[in-house]
Amino acid sequence: MRLLVDTSAYSAFLRGHAAIGEEIGRADELAMTPIVLGELLAGFRKGARFESNVARLREFLGSPRARFVTIDDETSDRYSVLHDDLRRAGTPIPTSDLWIAASAMQHGLRVLTTDPHFERARQIVVSLHRVE
């Protein structure tokens, strides 16, 4: 299983969400985008544990199963397809999440998330987990 770990899923993983932890543990590949990295770092800066959160993220990304996917012209094309499809359906999602979905679409990755709006993007596969 190849996962693109969304910001919400990584945050839930840090908080000890069992089902997300199990799915991450079973994955053959764990991908992250610059968008997710930026959202995580911005969130870490708001808290009191910036250094420890960054250290845990570096450890996560240092796994041999982890990789960083870049955004390029192909990602941009996928973004435009998703944006147009969601606009026509009247079901837009946040811009950052469109870029994450476009990366998943481009690289054939399943989006691991707690955000149900990813399911509106019919061109991607989503693994949605509820958090309480």
Residues 125, 103 contacting (CB under 8 angstroms): no
The model's pLDDT over 10-64, given as tens digits with 9 standing for 90+, comes to 999 999 999 999 999 999 999 999 999 999 999 999 989 999 999 999 999 999 9
Does residue 93 contact residue 86 with C-beta atoms inside 8 Å? yes
The values of phi and psi at residue 61, to 5°, are -70, -20
State pLDDT tens for residues 65-88: 999 999 999 999 999 999 999 999
Contact 80, 73 (CB under 8 A): no
Report the predicted TM-score, pTM, of the whole model to 2 decimal places.
Answer: 0.94
Would you kindly state where each structural domain of the chain is located, as residue ranges? 2-128
Q: How far apart are CA 78 and CA 123, in angstroms?
A: 10
Q: Which fold has domain 2-128?
A: Rossmann fold (3.40.50)
